Structure 1
């Protein structure tokens, strides 16, 4: 609070001086005007003719002018304002003076001074920002001691292979001498890559904790500024800080923010200087310095090749999304301390959470716990977990609105069509759940499936995936009996199927006509394969139509049950199909 008067003292002083000057000027004018006698223009001409006037002071803009007599008296005279006035006075040997418009001059002076003050103030603020930006990065980097991260390898579920490799790095940091005696060099840098939420930062912290060394954290975006040279300065300060705390782990999260591929763009000067500074620093220390640089990115392909080459970031470790066993381990870890209902099977849940990262799983259980507490429940039941799952998958909340009966029926047949294609096809995915509960994200319903296996996909499996996409539209048709009434509900399904067909023909070498060719490498345009794609789409659509039309009784029965219950599990669907088949037999 004490700094505020200092900030404005020069501005206040300037305004005070201006006020005094203006006051003095107007006071002087007032005193001088009081001693001036007003006379008529004819009286003035009479005095001129007599030779009593020695000087005239006038300004064409003013309504009056001043006349000075031989005995130094001042007279105020109306201005005749004609062009020859000045010439006539000079011919009579009268001195002519130009009257100064004091009020106008002072106004101009005041305007200029205020403008200068404004510019000076803006420059001061601008220079202050630059000064703040140029401060060392020390204030932006956290040097975390070993008792702060508090993360060990045992605290990280899954990623067994990655953790084993990391333990080798830990052993080097803990016992460097035995490696140095054999001339083994510690990698200068490690890049951890993989989808968001897979635990890249946790692994880096665990290395620091297990090695009992400081952990220096920074984010790639911390180095990017609009002022050229600021990022490079921060890089140098960060490495200087690391050397002072060696041995240590220097972690740069989201390194793609500064380490992206360089271009010749003249507007990219700040980023170029920053990455060049990083490359220089990486070259400027060796493994014996005890500084291990670990970076994380979701986009390894976006990094500059000079950064990823050997001698800088030597190791590239990919941390994938967890598989089923890893998901089960993660669920068990995050379920600790949470009152889960006995009806919840973590084993079944782990199979349903395909595509979920560790962070997603943690968020799911936390959201379910939050919903349980908000409803004043003592335990987390299946309803809470389903609601949390729904919010994450559907990207919105359940909508509790009055629904149109015909639309609900249409959505039920649509979603049942998707589910039945998978349930009745040998290569179909496992169906975990089907719901027709609409969400605030705009989705009317969803069919959640889990692939029977991950990895390599067969030709037949991809064809089944395409058929599953077509199942929704065919379900609508079998209900309505005409294509004139079908809806836009299948638009995303059609897009997914089209992409699968394109890859099937152009990238996977599965098309009979093009065979073992990658049409993308050949530069073939989409229009060139459109005929083959059209024929394939037609064939698979007809096969899907035959499958669902021959099982329309199942489609109708399941859709009716779905309308009644709104949500059906995979187990309920399988049991229904078995019961209906028994009744038919």
Structure 2
């Protein structure tokens, strides 16, 4: 466990002024030294901290004979009866004019509200234009200006202050001076600064004292979690909250993604909590990536994983939409970013999730908008660089197009942790379905679960995109709604899954003749696949227009070998693509236009074999003739070479077409049986046509040696 500080060494009482002295001694020293040298100083601090910090400055410099003039735009006298009170800005301008032109002795002029001079976007207000000449009129004046972290200060005002001091939160090494013995007892015996600090790192000393003083409960509790929970609740401003989402229990599948998050982030933080040596803690904190990119297709749970990570850390989450940050007004987009980071630091530990990060952080040179994106990226990096290592504030950017992000963002030290969250595989889909099956009380049978896993392995009907976690959730909710409408009490069967997926699809209404053509075409594809050695197994055949732009389709199982593709597999693919066309020619004595895409794809594969992969056979040099994106190179080839390539491509296509024709002629009865079954049932899963699958051929034995 982290080192405990004895209760006896903590103060018994602590006023807000004493707390400021204890929390910021180094900052106060630097500001005093600058003022004694005659340098104007700008202090960035929360509004509630400003008067206390000012008083500490004044008390320190009083012994040096320094006098202060505090200009806050308020008057000590009430206006005469019937006269309206002057505005704060008008009063401030009058006070400034008197201070600059009427001062007869050396004084330090304090401007506690520099934000009065700025607009929300960091520009100058109309009244501020009157103030600027006054600020620069007397170069001998020594100013102390206080700037709220939530507001940007225009450059013309910032240049007035050669010395700048930023006071955001409290340092961990000062925490032991900011909690009294009575307050410490609410968290157990002795102060654990590392356990407490992660909840208060972004809170200024004055607010921290207020929150600690409000902690209730028994002294020396056996479980200090309720006290920490009170503190955590008090630091959650606005709509911020800590999500309740368990990484392993509430998110199905994705074992590798969870393992990486656990090992590289959560386990490192858990290990840090066991350390007592401050130097060891600092070394571990330096290892943590503050910026993370979660990338992958839409709907795969990128934001969900960020929330689960936040829940494991007890961190507040801000989910920010990238497009919503952008504004038409100059400086307002950067101001929006600044406000988000201020809230995150005040509510630490916290995670900022920038959804659709690529909307404003695309690679430079690709911007098509007003150019504000470049300023937003710079502001984002500036804010991230401003974190202290001990502050638990993380930035997660989600995107569907990681390749479009500015490379400067992805270098180590910025968004160095990149996590791919792909479409779910069969194991992931099963785990996701199991979670929703339990949560929604679907009572799916094992057969229904197996069917749902297979059915969601291909494209989403009506869209052409693959099934994501969101699609699977939508399927389960549709099942739950149907059970509610029909008052179903029994288990959910496979037929219910199919109904939920397809009941409300707008399918084409085929005539009997059209059904016969489509069924023949798909039967040809399927029978060729059954007799191609390298073809994957068939999971489903449909002639109901399940996929957008397709009247029928054959759905294949995941291939056994996903990463190594052979010449035999590519040739089998061409043969299977010709199966639909050749089946029509065999059984219908006519051809439909349904083979257009098949021919296009078959030609692409044949051209790739010959021109890109050096697999064109005898007479074709083994080299790459056509690199992607370099179509012009092919036209530079000689006529003889081009003729050789075209002949080789034609040879590949002709051989595989003949092979498909031979398979279908030999297995004509099987094609007819499968076609008729498709016309009858419209959709076939693997079990429905098992009797048509040929028996596996035993491998030939090699002759014995010797």
TM-score per shorter chain, which class? 0.5 to 0.7
Contact 1:190 1:314 in 2 (8 A): yes
Question: 2:456 is matched with which residue?
Answer: 353
The offset of 1:511, in angstroms, is 4.1
Matched, 1:155 2:258: no
Equivalent residue for 1:415, pick from 498, 504, 522: 522
TM-score under structure 2 length normalisation: 0.56
1:432 pairs with 2:539: yes
Partner residue in 2 for 1:164: 259
* Deviations 1:141-160 (CA, angstroms, capped at 9, x unpaired): 985322x4434332111122
Which deviates further from its counterpart, 323-332 or 312-321?
323-332
Backbone CA RMSD of aligned residues: 3.3
Which of 410, 419, 424 is the equivalent residue of 1:308? 410
Counterpart secondary structure, 1:158: coil
Contact 1:223 1:274 in 2 (8 A): no
Number of the residue aligned with 1:77: none
1:255 to 342, 357, 372: 357
Return the offset for 1:352: 4.2
2:591 is equivalent to residue 475 of structure 1: no
Q: Does 1:364 align with 2:475?
A: yes
- Mapped partners of 1:374, 1:499: distance in 2: 49
- Cα offset, 1:455, TM superposition: 3.0
Displacement of 1:565: 2.2
Equivalence for 1:497: 602
Q: Choose which of 283, 296, 301 in structure 2 pairs with 1:182.
A: 283
Q: Hey, what's the Cα distance between the residues in 1 that align with 2:538 and 2:314?
A: 47
Match of 1:562 in 2: 678
The equivalent of 1:123 in structure 2 is none
Deviations 1:145-199 (A, max 9, x none): 22x4434332111122221221241244456463524354121211111122222
Call closer, same or farther: CA 1:203–1:255 in 2, change over 3 Å. same
Whether contact under 8 Å (1:173, 1:247) holds in the other structure is no
- In structure 2, how many angstroms separate the alpha carbons of the residues matched to 1:374 and 1:501? 52
State the distance in 1 between where 2:431 and 2:294 align.
21
SS at match of 2:371: helix
Q: What is the alpha-carbon distance in structure 1 between the residues aligned to residue 448 and residue 424 of structure 2?
A: 18
Give runs of aligned pairs for residues 107-506 of structure 1, distance below 5 A. Answer: 143-146=239-242, 148-168=243-263, 169-173=265-269, 176=272, 178=275, 180-182=281-283, 184-185=285-286, 186-263=288-365, 267-336=369-438, 337-340=440-443, 342=445, 344-354=447-457, 355-374=466-485, 377-379=488-490, 380-390=492-502, 396-398=505-507, 401=509, 403-438=510-545, 443-453=550-560, 454-481=562-589, 485-506=590-611
Structure 1 stretch 159-168 or stretch 378-387: which is displaced more? 378-387
C-alpha deviation, 1:231, in angstroms: 1.8
Determine if contact 2:452/2:497 at 8 Å carries over to the other structure.
no
Question: How many residues are paired up?
Answer: 438
The alignment partner of 1:429 has SS state of: coil
CA contact under 8 A between 1:435 and 1:446: conserved in structure 2?
Answer: yes
Check 1:517–1:442 CA distance in 2 against 1; reply closer, same or farther (3 A cut). Answer: closer
Over alpha carbons, which structure has the higher Rg? 1
Q: Provide the rounded CA distance (Å) in 2 between the counterparts of 1:196 and 1:506.
A: 35
CA 1:228–1:535 in 2, change beyond 3 Å: closer, same or farther?
A: farther
| SS of residue paired to 1:344 | helix
Aligned equivalents of 2:427, 2:489: Cα separation in 1: 29
- Tell me the alpha carbon deviations over residues 80-130 of structure 1, each in whole angstroms, 9 at most, x when there is no partner: xxxxxxxxxxxxxxxxxxxxxxxxxxxxxxxxxxxxxxxxxxxxxxxxxxx
Q: 1:416-447: per-residue Cα shift (whole Å, max 9, x none)? A: 11111222222112212222224695642222
1:574 counterpart residue number: 690
Instruction: Name the counterpart of 1:88.
Output: none
- Following TM superposition, by how much is the alpha carbon of 1:205 offset from its aligned partner in structure 2, in angstroms? 0.5
Query: After the TM superposition, which of the residue ranges 488-497 and 542-551 deviates more from structure 2?
Result: 488-497
Aligned CA distance change for structure 1 residues 414 and 440 (closer, same or farther; 3 Å): closer
Deviation at 1:297, TM superposition (A): 1.1
Compared CA separation, residues 542 and 143, structure 1 to 2 (3 A): farther
TM (norm. structure 1) is: 0.67
- Cα distance per residue 1:463-519 (max 9 Å; x no partner): 2222222211112111222xxx31111223233334434444455554443535373
The separation in 2 between residues aligned to 1:338 and 1:264, in whole angstroms, is 48
Structure 1 runs not aligned, ≥5 long: 1-130
Task: Report the counterpart of residue 541 of structure 1 in structure 2.
Answer: 657
Question: In structure 1, how many angstroms separate the alpha carbons of the residues matched to 2:301 and 2:607?
Answer: 34
CA distance in 2, matches of 1:514, 1:142: 69
Give the direction of change, closer, same or farther, for the CA distance of 1:517–1:194 in structure 2 (3 Å limit).
same
Tell me what 2:184 maps to. Answer: none
- Secondary structure at the aligned position of 1:144 is classed as coil
Instruction: Sort the Cα spacing of 1:534 and 1:313 in 2 relative to 1 into closer, same or farther, 3 A.
Output: same
- Counterpart CA distance in 1 for 2:647 and 2:370 is 44
Q: 236-245 or 300-309, which moves further after superposition?
A: 236-245
List alignment gaps of at least 5 residues for structure 2. Answer: 1-118, 124-149, 152-236, 458-465, 636-641, 698-706
Distance 1:346 1:132, change over 3 A: farther
